């Protein structure tokens, strides 16, 4: 068992009849680093017992697979097409595909956003700015949920991996990231577990080559990004680490 699992937050232990959702998933096309289609990712998650996931491909300033030179509304349309074009398969699989995004706000630093629909993005062109204060204000004004992704991730492309972020700008923090080194997760847990912010977990997976992932467990299914934002704000879920 990974060491940091020993210090995860206290959970409510609702039992086995629960639905599992990964909050951080990438696909080919939407993310330049993706290796499998949304359809293949859903099938793999279904095989290992997940009910759904949030598709959080890299957005405008991140490692996106969408042409950044497109006009804003065209960029949002192309970005969201990977979500919309996969809904029919999701319905056939009885899988809850939820719209989300991951955006860069500083060198190697990123946020996860839920509750923002493609229509909301199109109507808020100020989000073209790589400014976390603008993102924080716009997401919250539209009822969304914003979180820091994988804080303290130590990689060669991140100049200052251990810089303390301004937690007043977010609702939650992804302290459990399957793609992180265990020691990075442990540092995040110890730093933020008493911060008053909502603690979340995500797989950050880019291909179907996995046997488990991270996420949350809930008592009722989540069908939309607005519902997911509401669940996260209520903190009425359990952390799931692939046990």
pLDDT of 243 reads 73
Residue range 170-176: average pLDDT? 98
Residue range 112-136: average pLDDT? 97
pLDDT of 4 reads 46
Residue range 13-30: average pLDDT? 85
Q: Which domains does the chain have, with CATH numbers?
A: 18-240 (3.20.20.140)
Tokens of 49: 């017992």
Tokens of 116: 């923002």
DSSP letters of 172-202?
EEEEEETTS-HHHHHHHHHHHTTSSSEEEEE
Q: Are 150 and 112 in contact (CB under 8 A)?
A: no
Query: pLDDT for 130-163, tens place per residue?
Result: 999 999 999 999 999 999 999 999 999 999 999 9
**Percentage of the chain lying above the pLDDT 90 cut:** 92
What is the side-by-side strand order in the sheet with 145-148?
Answer: 198-202, 172-177, 145-148, 109-114, 96-106, 52-55, 19-25, 215-218, 238-240
Asked whether residue 239 carries a pLDDT value surpassing 50, the answer given is yes
Taking the whole predicted model, whether its pTM rises above 0.75 is answered as: yes
Asked whether residue 16 carries a pLDDT value surpassing 70, the answer given is no
């Amino acid at each position: 068992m990974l060491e940091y699992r020993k210090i995860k937050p206290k959970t409510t232990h609702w039992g086995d009849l629960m639905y599992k959702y990964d909050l951080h998933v990438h696909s080919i096309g939407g993310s330049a680093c993706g290796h499998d289609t949304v359809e293949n990712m859903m099938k793999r998650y279904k095989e290992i017992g997940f009910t759904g996931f949030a598709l959080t491909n890299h957005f405008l300033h991140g490692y996106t697979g969408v042409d950044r030179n497109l006009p804003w509304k065209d960029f949002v349309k192309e970005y969201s097409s990977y979500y919309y074009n996969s809904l029919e398969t999701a319905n056939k699989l009885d899988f809850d595909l939820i719209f989300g995004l991951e955006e860069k706000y500083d060198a190697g630093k990123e946020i996860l956003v839920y509750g923002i629909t493609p229509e909301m993005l199109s109507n808020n062109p100020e989000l073209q700015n790589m400014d976390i204060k603008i993102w924080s204000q716009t997401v919250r004004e539209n009822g969304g949920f914003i979180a820091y992704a994988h804080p303290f991730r130590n990689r060669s492309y991140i100049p200052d991996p251990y810089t303390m972020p301004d937690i007043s700008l977010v609702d939650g923090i992804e302290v459990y990231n399957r793609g992180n080194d265990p020691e990075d997760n442990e540092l995040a847990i110890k730093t933020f577990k008493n911060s008053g912010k909502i603690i979340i977990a995500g797989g950050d997976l880019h291909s179907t080559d996995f046997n488990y992932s991270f996420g949350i467990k809930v008592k009722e299914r989540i069908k939309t990004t607005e519902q997911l934002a509401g669940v996260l704000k209520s903190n009425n879920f359990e952390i799931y680490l692939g046990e």
